[in-house]
Structure 1
């Protein structure tokens, strides 16, 4: 999963760099508004059925019945939103500033089918097999989108590249599914709905967290006029750049859910308690130094990678990098809470943070623009993480690797000072210059982090099985 996240992130990030340099910030602002619209619309077209299907299928009973019931529910749910969107095509085009209404509906429907296929694979405890599939979408967006862009399709090229990747994901994910499609049942539909009505709320929270700021920024662009599409493009690029620090975190949280679900069904909560600190440490060892490095290199990162017009979001990038420290812990709290079949508690936490998120976005965007949007997102997600930790702690003892995290923070401060001195001596004008300074910081951090014996031991325990498995495969070859 981590390797796939690396490939996916590199592919998607390379696409962002190329499109930023070729098209500029304004067309990207239009595309990001389009994707945000699809993200928000995924809420009423799913209603938690995908996560419910993953949960029930991972339990190992009546898989074919649950799969058929999930397909039936998804097919029924998606009809009304799709019809309403088709009727509102002119308003959607006006909001997005481009003729993209019809293709939005097409991508939405295909994306829902692809999402269910991926969830079924995870429910079959075949998380690793979804890894390669996840790389398809960003690579398709890069290759097909860029080809169409140089052919003169403009912002539509980015959308068509997105569509192509979604279609491939749909086809390949369902081709790999092993569970047979049986006959739907009322009991299975009720079970999926009972779980989904709560699990949809965390899903809503993730979607709102990812896209509500872009939608509100676009609304201010059209209604108030104090935001430009270029600023929206720069804002989302800063967000996507900050996401690179979460590759390990997201790999871990995707992997642990079906396994935690199975352990919960077996009553083995002690195994969940044992894994939680091990799941948290790798993420913290990455996001903490990433935040420290971004404080020093924020402007250089945006200017060198995307172009000078994107440096307007330099403070946004710093805020989002700090927020990723919080987000790295969220998955460690939220996924176990869902896995032990307490989605209603996750729902309570998420609803609270959604309300805070929307209110803060409206108020702070009006006052501070894109910086206000970043602050609103960070504050609300911090609240969400705290509430999830509080609820989980009622059922499972939470131990976090606090000493290792504290040492990481100390080493990161030292690294930040040395990187600042280095960047003052070396003028960063090109990507090789930037890579040199970043690698210098990485080397300093790795040396410093390995000095501390508990962290060194923990890293060895985590990597030893991987190295052993790789070595055995090499020797067999």
Structure 2
């Protein structure tokens, strides 16, 4: 597997998916209003949180075992068997609690929720099957199509006067289509479940279930808590701010997805030097984008939310700035956590996740009740810092982590200079509309690009290797 090309394919896919969702959220925000959009976000939050008990680490365990070449057909069949049992239990609970679920969401979506959960779990399972086959780059088309199909159907439905129900149904349909397509791309077939493969999956999944929970909790727990204590309008403002910050993680997420199966193979072959090299390079690439995004996003936070989504969303400027700090930390944690799992230590990742989730669950309701929805951003950021610190500590006990301090310092210096110039220009040319906003963002990107390319260390250690990896 070519790590550079696979990462680039996933980066392009992630960029496309993120931009599609970004513009879709802008459209939905302007068409539906904050309250109705809040119902959609709560629907998605429940899918994300319910996927935890509906999976319990099985997908990650399947990817790990397939990357090791262990009885692939029976592994996939056994994974489906385990997931069918888990999903049936979750679906039964949601069905029994249907009135409460509908009241929480603010719309009659419990049945659609059950269907969407099933299609998304299948789609994700086959995507991770492809990753386990070391065909990470080929997952790009499947994941991109899922997002494009959902947004396209949802946008058409909204333009015809339909509301959240139609968007939720479109989400379920997109999952079903990509589940079928994903399976047709897999070389592994669905074999008969067997005790041996089931035990092998469970051995890994029992720890991975805990570590994988962290991502779901980060993404959706704060939204769920805001929806419980505050109004749906605050849910919309917070989630819109969150979606903007997700653009920062395009590179680190792509790297994390790509290196996991490769690190797993290197670990099985005893190639520790390769693992240490890819960790250092991965962090260098991830920080390249997250550092300037923090500076620029903080400067233009009110304009980004107010001009793009509507004046009522500008109150989320502080949330956006705080979450950009969290994304800066996560751009490093994505690489560290994927490596820790790849070297077959899901138990350590699980410990880190237990502590992190505990911090998040304690801080979120306390801070939401005391300082409002800004408190959710603070809680999530603190939890993110704890997660990165613990994952780094555990990984450093197993391999040597060479953090690229010098390169990171140049990123900080270049971003600070970029920010100073942007503030100076903004004092002369105020940002009064969307066109000026995008012009300022583009100007900042050009400035930062010039600054970092002019630095020989960054150019030789980051830019040139990236270009060579793609050739």
TM-score interval (norm. to shorter) = over 0.9
The correspondence for 2:219, drawn from 183, 194, 210, is 210
Aligned residues: 462
Partner Cα distance (2:272, 2:441) in 1:
41
Partner Cα distance (2:80, 2:335) in 1:
29
Superposition pairs for residues 131-146 of structure 1, below 5 Å? 131-146=140-155
The correspondence for 1:273, drawn from 265, 273, 276, is 276
Residue in 1 aligned with 2:313?
310
Partner Cα distance (2:158, 2:296) in 1:
34
Partner Cα distance (2:245, 2:192) in 1:
44
The correspondence for 2:383, drawn from 380, 384, 389, is 380
- Relative to the length of structure 1, the TM-score reads 0.95
Q: Secondary structure of 1:135's match?
A: helix
Contact 1:291 1:322 in 2 (8 A): yes
Deviation at 1:424, TM superposition (A): 2.4
Q: Secondary structure of 1:119's match?
A: helix
Q: Which moved more, 1:25-34 or 1:150-159?
A: 150-159
- Relative to the length of structure 2, the TM-score reads 0.96
Deviation at 1:400, TM superposition (A): 1.3
Residue in 1 aligned with 2:458?
455
The correspondence for 2:330, drawn from 324, 327, 330, is 327
Superposition pairs for residues 356-367 of structure 1, below 5 Å? 356-367=359-370
Q: Secondary structure of 1:181's match?
A: coil
Q: Does 1:351 find its partner at 2:360?
A: no
Name structure 2 gaps, 5 residues minimum.
1-9
Q: Which moved more, 1:415-424 or 1:358-367?
A: 415-424
Partner Cα distance (2:304, 2:429) in 1:
14
The correspondence for 2:114, drawn from 96, 101, 105, is 105
Partner Cα distance (2:66, 2:422) in 1:
49
Contact 1:231 1:312 in 2 (8 A): no
Deviation at 1:97, TM superposition (A): 1.0
Partner Cα distance (1:383, 1:441) in 2:
31
Contact 1:45 1:81 in 2 (8 A): yes
Deviation at 1:232, TM superposition (A): 1.1
Q: CA RMSD in A?
A: 1.1
Deviation at 1:138, TM superposition (A): 2.2
Superposition pairs for residues 69-468 of structure 1, below 5 Å? 69-220=78-229, 227-466=230-469
Contact 1:29 1:230 in 2 (8 A): yes
Partner Cα distance (2:395, 2:382) in 1:
20
Q: Does 1:67 find its partner at 2:76?
A: yes
Q: Secondary structure of 1:407's match?
A: helix
Partner Cα distance (1:134, 1:426) in 2:
40
Deviation at 1:431, TM superposition (A): 2.5
Residues 231-289 of structure 1 deviation map (CA, whole Å, 9 limit, x = unaligned): 21011000010110110111100000000000011111111011111111111010000
Partner Cα distance (1:232, 1:266) in 2:
47
Contact 2:279 2:335 in 1 (8 A): yes
Q: Secondary structure of 1:21's match?
A: helix
Deviation at 1:178, TM superposition (A): 0.8
- Structure 1 residue ranges, 4+ long, deviating more than 4 angstroms after superposition: none
Name structure 1 gaps, 5 residues minimum.
221-226, 470-477
Residues 392-419 of structure 1 deviation map (CA, whole Å, 9 limit, x = unaligned): 0111100111111111101111111111
